[in-house]
């Protein structure tokens, strides 16, 4: 399984929450609150929310972080079925030989959601969660499996989950 540099989007279901802000409406019932879009971004690939939205101060968003955490508890089971070792290996751009031994994705249930970016015009908040530290091709590089959760502030709902690999070089 291989992904292009353009994020592959899997829609678990068509959701009003995934529409542009002006078209969003509150969910009609509890089942609608479980709908979420999933984007797969190859290792270190660009995506607008992380690469162009302004940073935010996590302490200013504690109430929203608690609400996003509660919504994540309802939705993580669906996402956990998608985040398999095969998917993680396919997202890897570097360390492919080392990733061949990657066999188990940790539970997604107890992730720490950290607010990292916001888009006030769209009333959206981006949360980051580190799922796992991944095998690496260099002792100077640390790689992580990350989830980014796009949270709709007025709808109080996670509307998109971005699955990717991020890394850092220690100098």
* CA 14, chain centre distance (Å): 18
The answer to whether the beta carbons of residues 117 and 58 sit under 8 Å apart is no
Query: Residue 1 has what pLDDT?
Result: 38
| Full-model pTM | 0.82
- Alpha helix (H) ranges present in the chain? 48-52, 62-82, 85-91, 96-99
At 5 the pLDDT is 32
Conformational region of residue 95, where left means phi above 0, alpha means psi within -120 to 50, and beta covers everything else: left
- The pLDDT score that the predictor gives to residue 35 is 78
pLDDT per residue rounded down to tens, the chain (171 residues): 333 333 344 433 323 333 334 444 444 445 555 679 999 999 999 999 999 999 999 999 999 999 999 999 999 999 999 999 999 999 999 999 999 999 999 999 999 999 999 999 999 999 999 999 999 999 999 999 999 999 999 999 999 999 999 999 987
99 is written with which tokens?
């990733």
Residue 93 confidence (pLDDT): 93
């Amino acid at each position: 399984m291989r992904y292009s540099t353009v994020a592959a989007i899997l829609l678990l279901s068509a959701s009003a929450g995934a529409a542009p802000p002006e078209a969003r409406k509150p969910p009609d019932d509890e089942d609608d609150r479980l709908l979420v879009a999933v984007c797969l971004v190859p290792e270190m690939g660009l995506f607008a929310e992380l690469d162009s939205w302004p940073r935010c101060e996590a302490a200013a968003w504690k109430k929203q972080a608690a609400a996003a955490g509660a919504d994540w508890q309802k939705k993580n089971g669906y996402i956990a079925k998608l985040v398999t070792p095969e998917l993680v290996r396919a997202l890897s751009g570097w360390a492919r030989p080392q990733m061949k031994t990657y066999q188990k994705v940790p539970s997604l249930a107890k992730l720490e959601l950290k607010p990292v970016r916001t888009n006030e015009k769209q009333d959206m908040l981006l949360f980051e969660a580190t799922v796992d530290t991944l095998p690496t091709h260099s002792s100077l590089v640390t790689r992580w499996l990350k989830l980014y959760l796009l949270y709709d502030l007025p709808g109080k709902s996670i509307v998109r989950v971005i699955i990717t690999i991020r890394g850092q070089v220690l100098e």
